[in-house]
Structure 1
Amino acid sequence: MSPTLLNEFRFGLRRDKLDWVKAYDSPGKVGEEARKFLGQHPSGIPFIIRPTLFSANVMSAEDGGTVGEMNPLWQYGDNLSWTRGKHAFKGGVEVRFGATNTFSSQQNIPRVDLGPSSFVGNGINNFGRQFWAGIPVSVFNTQTLPGISGPDANRASDLLIDLSGSVGAINEQFNIRDPKTIVFEDYRTLYKNWSNIHQNEFSTFLKDDWKIRPNLTLNLGIRYEWYGVPYDSNGLMAAPKGGGGGLFGLSGNSFADWFRPGIRGPLMSAEFIGKGSPNPDKLLYKNDWNNFGPAVGFSWSLPWFGKDKTVLRGGYGLYYASIFAGGGGLGFTSAITQFPGVTQTATHPTTKAAELDIRNIVLPIPERLPSGQIPVVPVTTPNVSQPTYAWDPNLVNPYMQNFNVELQRELMSNLTLEIRYVGTKGTKLYSTIDLNSPNTIENGIFDAFRVTAAGQDAPLFDSMLRGFNLGLGTINGTTVTGSASLRSNALTRSFLANGNPAGLATYLARTAPVGGYPGDYIRTNGYPENFVLTNPQLGQALFFTNPNNSTYQSLNVALTKRLSHGFTNQSTYTWSRTIATSIINPRERGNKTLSSLHRTHDFRSNGTFELPVGPGRLLLPKAGPVLSRLVERWQLGAIFNWTSGTPLTITAGSNPYGIATNFPDVVTALPKNFGQVTKTNLPPGVISYFPALQPVTDPGRSGITTVQSLQNFNSNFALADAQGRPILVNPAPGTIGNLGEAWFEGPARTSLDLNLVKRAKIDETRELEIRLDAINVLNHPNFANPTASINSTQFGRIALPNTWNRQFVFNARLNF
């Protein structure tokens, strides 16, 4: 535009495409041949037979069906630069339109399972109809066929079932095409289930590079970023009614209702929201409009110790991050595209004797949901197959603050030393909180657990389990108590013996008694549906919000040798500390702990050295033409890395809150540098990281009752020194151990790679390059972290490394 004014316009398109096509959906002869193996029903719906003998075959190896995605990202930007005096101004805008367009057929082609149905025994299915369970085969066994092995007898039974075509059950999926009519369509009208998620972004910035003096420059700027709320252009984005708080279901609609047994709300139900839906003004969460990020920096060439020999730099910046963008396309997962009730995958157990014959199957199956509304998931058949997500309506974009100060000194004309501090603070980082962490405190289950483990009878379990039979007889609170039944039951006694109240609570809330439904142990005697789980309609109820923060601090020293005399090298050392948020008790704020990304020490060095051989060099400077071509331009390169180990958390027992692991109690001094890779002799060849620690019986075992032999089912260990003195023990039930997270660091990692390169000039435009790479030339083993549970018989053991052995790679290349 002018010598001082420049305008730059940018346009870009990135589009990734992936199709995973099943054989029967393939074009041409492949698909034509594969479709011959599909069953054909008079309704026009094909089906896939899943036999019992070869359950994983070319037609039904998995149930994902044909899937595919296309991820376009359109970018438009314009920048304007203007230089005036000591100022260099620059400003610009950019808009981005991203999308993730996916489809899948899943089980839209029904699966017909041969053999006995997964519904055990004859009975009543969820729709109130009598069903048949398929025909089990028991004529083949080691008694009827002497000499046959058990597995071969099973295979013979499976073969007979498959040859007879005896049907156990039919699985079929139904999908919604139109969010305004809500009709569950089958294969004939909607074969592929589509999702087209969009997210739009906008950013603008203005900055000024102000050269105050020849040796001092100040950088000032501000940036604004907006990340739009995602939407499905088909209008099929579902969320709980009432917004994110609807995920609390029966318990209410906010964290004030968390861990409070009692019905304060309706069952969770879903609705379609966003553009193209019946509720276009409802969003997953509110737009975040105030994302302003200032930035400031300076560069000062110090006037002392030589002109332009020493430079001091520093800066601060605040930057926002998108909640979903990143990775392929927008990085979306099923979290945002799936919600219970939007897609129906139904099972039809055979309801008539005639239906046992594969020739008489009914398609579409009669379990199709009625039209007109998204169904409510019942508490008796909760959706536990996949997590259910909802978004905090006040969700905001996370932001990072970056601080840095650097001192650079030119030691020689080709040697530079840099010392810098880098710090980063992450605020309002997004993560999920599982609202269905089991409640054991407010409802009294933990107190009842402790009484039961001590050999006494808890009135709560008598009241809750009255009328059930867990193996000792019908619980009546007198001759047969709830506590005694739990201590004797094979499925519950291990929870009591090993101090796992959250596991017992989850069992009571999730397990169906014989002939009943999940949750019957809770609801039958009048306890509220949410006595243990906040939303008993769901498995994991993941609430997407901004609970986390992080900090990163580092000191970095770098020495750079620029190329001279055929030698160049760069070496850096970094000391750092990375802190993240860890939630141990959901009732409390997150704890600060070392991040999994933390590395205390990191040293890296790389360089090249051209051998001083050939014309004009130290060795053979006057060699003849042929010899010169052979000996000249040989270059040796090396890359050396050493990094201290990753954080290592020692675990013990079960977390009483059911959301994370627990930690042991430390009863004597335990130095942080206690771990060391050691080859032991017991047993021979085993690599151990804590050879000085030996497993012994956990002292807490003595606190477990011997009534009904409960103590015998305790499998916990403690760790002791060579004299047998306990060092790490399991915490008391209902408590968190005092060792904490990431107390140790795992084994360090070392690598040295070498390369040798020979370049030979062929003519003015062509050059032959021959290269040999020696990867991990020292063949140094790098070990992973050891088994870290003190209750494991493998504690401290490290799996033998089987990757990154020494490798040699030879390459030849023609450069022209």
Structure 2
Amino acid sequence: MNLTESQGLRQNPADDPIFRGNDRRVLYTLSAQNTHIFSPTILNTAMFGVSHARGQNSNLPLEPFPSNLLMMTGEGRNAPGAFVFGGASTTNTPTSIVPPNGQNLHFNQRRNYSWSDDLRITRGSHSLSMGAWFMRVRQTAFSSAQNNAGTASYTGLLEFLQDQPVQFLAAVNPQPLTFTSLEAAVYFQDEIKLRRNLTVRLGLRDEMTNGWNEVNNRASNYLFDANGILQTNPTIGRSPFVKNYAKALLQPRVGVAWDPTGNATWSVRAAFGIHNDLQDNLAHRLNANQPFNARLLITGRPMLSIIPLAGSTAPPPTCSADSPLREPACAIYTVGGLDPNMHTPTIQQWTLEIERAITSDLAVQVGYVGHQSYHLSTSVDNNTIRPEVCQNPAGCLSGGVRPARFRVTVPQGTEYIPAPVVGTATRPNPFVGTTNTWMYMGTASYHAANISLTKRSRNGLSYKTNYTFGKIMDISSAILGPSADNDTATLRNPYNPKLSRGIGSYSLKHQFNANFSYQLPFGNGRAIGGAATGFVDKLIGGWQWNGIFNAQSGFPMTPVVGLNQTGNGDTRIPDVPILNPAFKGDVILGVDGFKKTGRYFDPNAFLLPATGTFGNVSRGMFTGPGFWNLDMSLFKRIPLKERLNLQFRAEAFNILNHANFNSPIAGNVVFDTSDPSKYAGSAGTITETAPVHGERQIQFALRLEF
């Protein structure tokens, strides 16, 4: 039995020196295990565990702000809110003043109870495994989105100075919600030794859950009407889902191990399996919906007529066609939520490995790994304007929600976002604001070939090298934030998900790794100084040289426009530019080009799409800077007594002090958001080195071994 407790408080300075981040963590775990041997061929292992975690993250000012500078007051708030230029919120680092993090003054809590029992039986050529697993999850989530300080969004600096925000987003009267889930699984596996050199493994696992349920029947989720349009008011009940599709998730597994020669110099292994990812961490997708938690969206009104807004204000009713007024007599809410017909994410995986022993201490292995995933979560705005194809020979007015001065006429046959006709709505449901819904319609594939060479220790030398050539394709690589800092976390067009299909933002085409350890041949009984004794032997003997080398290609990178050029209303601005057909030269200038010109890519290779139209740059079309690094160490073992040794360690990380650069993060925005006719001054710029390999570091240590 094991019981642990940990509590911590970490205070970090925020990016803005006016604020300080407070991160509180409390964790309790209890675990117990019982292993019983019934006979030499029957073994049972039972385990039980409880974990309870509480966390709070807040971003508070070092000095209190005067109340007249706050967008929202009450409920412990003391941050002025945020002003964002170029979109309501974005994962592409918009220009902003005052961090929009908000203040989460409540604890998030999660408690898990788990139990499992595994029985193993050996009968002749069969090795049987069977068991069951059960877990109860209870989660109370209260996110910073529920207690933020207000966020005002502007098209550009001019609109800010004229007090003409695109929208103001605020969370009013937030209430914690508590969700539970019961999960279970049973499995059976038979490992059969058909021949001395052939083993087959067959198994079946069945996973299940009762869904994701709010204990007080306050799960608030938005459904679609018969026309596929998001409903104005949420459906409230115990579960956010129309149906539980995870009552029986069958997962077959099969594996084969074969030694073709029977003398242990060859090995062929192949396997296939289906795996599911039970969804039990979803409270943060539902804890910001009205009426229990409302993210109030106010559009088209000067900020000075809105603020200060009391945080305890009861949320007004939703607007409708019969509403006498819009805000504040009624409200247009921004929506979070989950796919009401969610299916559990599923992955099919298959592998093939062939290993050959070249010598008694040297082996080579080649392999292939394939994955196909479906029902993956994607982040979608379900209330964006549906694109159309222009049918008018004279052209169509395009631009969506973009200001009238940016609208253009596109030719017949163009897919475009229509500009609203006077008196008509700009969104499919004008009484709902922007949405951030996880729709489980994502797919992904991964294929990789690898080769490795492994040498076991002989004459003091051991090493291992491996190389992988792989590729990931998906329609979305992130749902909460940018993956690898190089892609947006939302689909370009929710009505055509395939438009977002491209190289996954964490895909690495090439990866090479090598490590070695060498016992230097000095000292008594070694090749050099083999007759040394006493002090001389202690001085020259016991040295070990180690090294690790890593190299990989860069992460895929996608330049973006930097604003909602399509005008479809997606405030997370995933829009991309179009390739300039007249451009000649290299689009990617590389790290050397960046050192000379200040740009990693040439923005002249891209053009701004016509307002209301989509760009043609595919996801992951370009590649960011590659990485390589070399670490080395030198150890010296000094015997003190029979069972007591002292080890001296000299370690150098990034010994060559090679600078590895990150992808252009803010620099992936191509156009000036205040004047899109110009390229952004930061386009293509790299602002930081890669966090994984910093500057050279050398450290010395002593280690006592006994």
- TM-score, normalised by the number of residues in structure 1: 0.62
Measure, in 2, the Cα distance between the counterparts of 1:310 and 1:239.
56
Superposed displacement of residue 494, structure 1 = 4.6
Q: Match of 1:536?
A: 430
2:498 is the alignment partner of 1:604: no
Measure, in 1, the Cα distance between the counterparts of 2:436 and 2:148.
31
Superposed displacement of residue 209, structure 1 = 0.5
Measure, in 2, the Cα distance between the counterparts of 1:201 and 1:207.
20
Against the structure 1 CA distance between its residues 49 and 72, is the aligned structure 2 distance closer, same or farther, given a 3 Å change threshold?
A: closer
Superposed displacement of residue 758, structure 1 = 1.9
Measure, in 2, the Cα distance between the counterparts of 1:419 and 1:384.
61
Measure, in 2, the Cα distance between the counterparts of 1:586 and 1:792.
27
Measure, in 1, the Cα distance between the counterparts of 2:680 and 2:343.
42
Pairs within 5 Å for 1:696-775: 718-719=604-605, 728-775=606-653
Measure, in 2, the Cα distance between the counterparts of 1:406 and 1:376.
59
Q: Which has the higher strand share?
A: 2
The letter of the residue matching 2:697 is Q
Q: Match of 1:427?
A: 374
Are the aligned partners of 1:443 and 1:532 in contact in 2 as well (CA < 8 Å)? no
Q: What does the per-residue CA deviation read over 1:273-321, in whole Å, with 9 as the maximum and x for residues that have no partner?
A: 11xxxxxx87464242231011111111012xx7210111111111111
The correspondence for 1:642, drawn from 551, 575, 581, is: 551
Q: Helix, strand or coil: the match of 2:428?
A: coil
Moved more, 82-91 or 622-631: 622-631
Pairs within 5 Å for 1:141-180: 174=173
The letter of the residue matching 2:40 is P
The correspondence for 1:667, drawn from 575, 581, 601, is: 581
2:187 is the alignment partner of 1:230: no
2:693 is the alignment partner of 1:799: no
2:19 is the alignment partner of 1:77: no
Pairs within 5 Å for 1:361-760: 368=314, 375-376=317-318, 380-381=326-327, 387-439=334-386, 441=388, 450=397, 492-494=404-406, 526-527=423-424, 531-581=425-475, 583-591=491-499, 592-651=501-560, 654-655=565-566, 657=568, 659=570, 660-667=574-581, 675-679=589-593, 686-690=597-601, 718-719=604-605, 728-760=606-638
Q: Match of 2:39?
A: 2
Pairs within 5 Å for 1:80-99: 80-99=119-138
Pairs within 5 Å for 1:58-137: 64=103, 66-102=105-141
Are the aligned partners of 2:102 and 2:148 in contact in 1 as well (CA < 8 Å)? no
Are the aligned partners of 2:104 and 2:142 in contact in 1 as well (CA < 8 Å)? no
2:295 is the alignment partner of 1:339: no
Q: Helix, strand or coil: the match of 1:741?
A: coil
Measure, in 1, the Cα distance between the counterparts of 2:351 and 2:176.
46
The letter of the residue matching 2:680 is S
Are the aligned partners of 2:60 and 2:78 in contact in 1 as well (CA < 8 Å)? no
Q: Helix, strand or coil: the match of 2:366?
A: strand
Q: Match of 2:705?
A: 815
The correspondence for 1:315, drawn from 271, 276, 281, is: 271
Q: Helix, strand or coil: the match of 1:322?
A: coil
Q: Match of 2:191?
A: 209
Q: What does the per-residue CA deviation read over 1:443-495, in whole Å, with 9 as the maximum and x for residues that have no partner?
A: 999988748x9xxxxxxx9xx9xxxxxxxxxxxxxxxxxxxxx9xxxx64356
Are the aligned partners of 2:74 and 2:311 in contact in 1 as well (CA < 8 Å)? no
Superposed displacement of residue 796, structure 1 = 3.6
Measure, in 2, the Cα distance between the counterparts of 1:407 and 1:107.
53
Superposed displacement of residue 19, structure 1 = 4.4
Are the aligned partners of 1:667 and 1:729 in contact in 2 as well (CA < 8 Å)? no
Q: Match of 1:134?
A: none
Superposed displacement of residue 106, structure 1 = 10
Q: Helix, strand or coil: the match of 1:762?
A: strand
Q: Helix, strand or coil: the match of 2:527?
A: coil
Are the aligned partners of 1:647 and 1:744 in contact in 2 as well (CA < 8 Å)? yes
The letter of the residue matching 1:11 is F
Q: Helix, strand or coil: the match of 1:661?
A: coil
Q: What does the per-residue CA deviation read over 1:656-681, in whole Å, with 9 as the maximum and x for residues that have no partner?
A: 6555322323526989996432247x
Measure, in 1, the Cα distance between the counterparts of 2:393 and 2:105.
47
Measure, in 1, the Cα distance between the counterparts of 2:332 and 2:545.
56
Measure, in 1, the Cα distance between the counterparts of 2:615 and 2:58.
50
Q: Match of 2:19?
A: none
Measure, in 2, the Cα distance between the counterparts of 1:807 and 1:80.
49
Q: Helix, strand or coil: the match of 2:285?
A: helix
Q: Helix, strand or coil: the match of 1:797?
A: coil
Against the structure 1 CA distance between its residues 577 and 670, is the aligned structure 2 distance closer, same or farther, given a 3 Å change threshold?
A: farther
The correspondence for 1:16, drawn from 53, 77, 81, is: 53
Are the aligned partners of 1:75 and 1:95 in contact in 2 as well (CA < 8 Å)? yes
Moved more, 386-395 or 633-642: 386-395
How many positions carry a matched residue from both structures?
580
Moved more, 421-430 or 9-18: 9-18
Superposed displacement of residue 70, structure 1 = 2.8
Are the aligned partners of 1:384 and 1:539 in contact in 2 as well (CA < 8 Å)? no
Of the two, which has the highest radius of gyration?
1
The letter of the residue matching 2:286 is I
Unaligned runs of 5+ in 2: 1-37, 68-72, 81-98, 151-160, 163-169, 298-307, 477-490, 672-678
Q: Which has the higher helix share?
A: 1
Superposed displacement of residue 550, structure 1 = 0.9
The letter of the residue matching 1:604 is N
Q: Match of 1:268?
A: 232
Are the aligned partners of 1:663 and 1:739 in contact in 2 as well (CA < 8 Å)? yes
Superposed displacement of residue 194, structure 1 = 3.4
Q: What does the per-residue CA deviation read over 1:694-751, in whole Å, with 9 as the maximum and x for residues that have no partner?
A: x6xxxxxxxxxxxxxxxxxxxxxx44xxxxxxxx544455544445332222221111
Over aligned residue pairs, what C-alpha RMSD do you find? 4.6
Against the structure 1 CA distance between its residues 600 and 672, is the aligned structure 2 distance closer, same or farther, given a 3 Å change threshold?
A: farther
Q: What does the per-residue CA deviation read over 1:498-547, in whole Å, with 9 as the maximum and x for residues that have no partner?
A: 99998995xx7xxxxxxxxxxxxx7xx643xxx32123333322343321
The correspondence for 1:295, drawn from 241, 250, 253, is: 253
Are the aligned partners of 1:440 and 1:446 in contact in 2 as well (CA < 8 Å)? no
Superposed displacement of residue 323, structure 1 = 2.6
Measure, in 2, the Cα distance between the counterparts of 1:203 and 1:346.
41
Are the aligned partners of 1:633 and 1:760 in contact in 2 as well (CA < 8 Å)? yes
- TM-score, normalised by the number of residues in structure 2: 0.71
Pairs within 5 Å for 1:344-359: none
Measure, in 1, the Cα distance between the counterparts of 2:251 and 2:66.
58
Q: What does the per-residue CA deviation read over 1:209-262, in whole Å, with 9 as the maximum and x for residues that have no partner?
A: 00000000011111111133112224332234xxx22xxxxxx3453x48xxxx
Q: What does the per-residue CA deviation read over 1:64-122, in whole Å, with 9 as the maximum and x for residues that have no partner?
A: 253213322221001111111111111111001122234689999999xxxxxxxx99x
Measure, in 2, the Cα distance between the counterparts of 1:393 and 1:172.
23
Q: Helix, strand or coil: the match of 1:627?
A: helix
How high is the sequence identity, in percent, across the aligned residues? 23
Q: Match of 2:158?
A: none
Measure, in 2, the Cα distance between the counterparts of 1:577 and 1:812.
43
Measure, in 2, the Cα distance between the counterparts of 1:673 and 1:172.
43
Q: Helix, strand or coil: the match of 2:433?
A: coil
Unaligned runs of 5+ in 1: 25-33, 40-44, 53-59, 112-119, 122-170, 176-192, 246-251, 259-266, 275-280, 325-329, 348-360, 454-460, 465-485, 509-521, 696-717, 720-727
Are the aligned partners of 1:270 and 1:376 in contact in 2 as well (CA < 8 Å)? no
Superposed displacement of residue 63, structure 1 = 5.6
Are the aligned partners of 2:600 and 2:686 in contact in 1 as well (CA < 8 Å)? yes
